[in-house]
Amino acid sequence: MKFVDQAIISVGSGKGGHGAVHFRKEKFVPRGGPDGGDGGRGGDVWMVASSRARSLYDFHHRRHHSADDGRAGGDSGSTGRSGAHLELVVPRGTQVFDAESGELLADLIDDDTRICIARGGNGGWGNARFKTATCQAPDKANPGLPGVTVSLRLELKLLADVALVGLPNAGKSTLIRAVSASQARVADYPFTTLTPNLGVVRHREATFTIADVPGLVAGAADGHGLGHQFLRHIERCEVLVFVLSATDELPPAEALAVLRAELGSFDETLLTRPAMIVLNKADVLGPEAKDEAARLSVALGEPVLAISAATGQGTPALLDALLPHVAASSSAPIVAPYDPHAS
C-alpha cells in the first residue's frame, strides 16, 4: 500500500423511497380504504476518523461513494426500509473540504470523531396519509426526495508529537528507525524518503509519536524539491527536531538557516514551536563530534546535541530532552507504525 495524503472524491446520499398507492382488498371488508405506506429514508454519508486508518490510498483509487436508497412503501401501511448509511473511514488528522468552494467542512483529529457529510432524502408519503373526510380513496402518493451529491477534497496532516526536519540525506530515516519501531527506508543518497514515516517511541514510561518528513531543499515552500507537498505534515507537531549532517557539503549552520527559512515561508508560526538541534553522524567525526557541536552551539546561540543515529550515540539524551515537550500527549491513541513500503 502506498502512502497517499490527498484525494478528491464524490459522495452521494441515498434518495428516499416513493410512497405507495394501495387500497385494502380483504374478503368481507366492503369498504377497503387506502393503506399505501411511506417510502423509506435514504442513507446518510458519514466521515469517521480512526487510528486504524493510515492513508487516503483507498480514496485515491475509488472516487465515487454512495449510500443506499430508501425502499418504496408497501401495502397495509408498511413503511419502506430506510437505506443503509455509508461510513467512510479516514485517518486521524484528515481535513475535509468542499472541492468547489474550498470551505473546510471538518477537521477530524480525535479517534472516532464523526460528521455527517450528506443527509439522505426523505421518503415520500403513501396514499394513506392523504385520506380526508371528503376524499376517502386518494390515489396519489409523494415521490421520495433525492439525495445530495457533494464533491470533497481530503487532505491528511500527520498527527505526531515530534517532527524530524532536515535536508536530504541528513539521517532522519536512520534516526526514526533507531528510536522507534518504524521501518523507514534507509540508503546513502538523497531523497531516500519519498513519503512521511510515522514511528512510535517508548522511553522512560512515556509513549509518543515521531514523524520523519521527506527532506526539504531551498525553495521547498515555493514547490521545489520534494518538500512542498509534505510541509503541512509538520503543522501539527508539538516540537521540531532539526537534524543537521556533520558530513554534508553545506555547513550545518547554513543548513539550519535554509530549513528555518522554508518553514517560515510556509507558516511563520512553525518558527515559534519548541525546537531542538542535533548534529548527526557523530560516529564519522569521532572524538571531535562533541567539540564540533559545542562550536556550532556557540555560533548559533542555541544548544546543539551531537548524536549518531547509526550507532545510537546520544539518542537517549535526545529522547530525554524531548520528554518535557511530549508528556502532555503521551496518553494519545497510539497505532502501529505505518510502513509505506510494505506490500
Q: Where are the domains of the chain?
A: 6-156, 162-329
Per-residue pLDDT at 342 exceeds 80: no
Residue 151: burial class (beta carbons within 10 Å; 0-12, 13-18, 19+)? middle
Decide: 156 and 6 in contact? Cβ < 8 Å: yes
Length of the chain equals 343
Confidence band, pLDDT 50/70/90 cuts, at residue 21: very high
Per-residue pLDDT at 115 exceeds 70: yes
Question: In the β-sheet with 275-280, what is the strand arrangement from edge to edge?
Answer: 197-203, 206-212, 162-166, 239-245, 275-280, 304-306
Q: Which pLDDT score, from 0 to 100, does residue 31 have?
A: 64
Alpha helices (H) along 125-221: 172-179
The model's pLDDT over 129-181, given as tens digits with 9 standing for 90+, comes to 998 888 888 889 999 999 999 999 998 887 788 888 888 878 888 888 888 76
Annotation: CATH topology of 162-329: Rossmann fold (3.40.50)
Alpha helices (H) along the chain: 57-61, 172-179, 252-266, 282-285, 289-300, 315-326
Confidence band, pLDDT 50/70/90 cuts, at residue 190: very low
CATH homologous superfamily, domain 6-156: GTP1/OBG domain (2.70.210.12)
Confidence band, pLDDT 50/70/90 cuts, at residue 1: very low
Decide: 60 and 4 in contact? Cβ < 8 Å: yes
Per-residue pLDDT at 340 exceeds 60: no
Determine the Cα–Cα distance for residues 92 and 302; give it in Å rounded to an integer: 34
Q: Does the model's pTM come out above 0.85?
A: no
Determine the Cα–Cα distance for residues 271 and 261; give it in Å rounded to an integer: 9
Question: What count of other Cβ atoms lies within 10 Å of the Cβ of residue 30?
Answer: 5
Q: Which pLDDT score, from 0 to 100, does residue 229 have?
A: 65
Higher pLDDT: 284 or 67? It is 67
> How are beta strands 197-203 and 206-212 bridged, if at all?
antiparallel
Determine the Cα–Cα distance for residues 244 and 85; give it in Å rounded to an integer: 50
Fold match between domain 6-156 and domain 162-329: no
Confidence band, pLDDT 50/70/90 cuts, at residue 328: low
Q: Which of these ranges, 186-190, 214-218, 290-294, 313-317, has the smallest mean pLDDT?
A: 186-190
Decide: 13 and 147 in contact? Cβ < 8 Å: yes
Checking phi first, is residue 281 left (phi over 0); if not, alpha (psi -120 to 50) or beta?
left
Which residues, in sequence order, are CB contacts of 231 under 8 Å at separation 6+? 213, 216, 220, 221, 262, 263, 266, 267
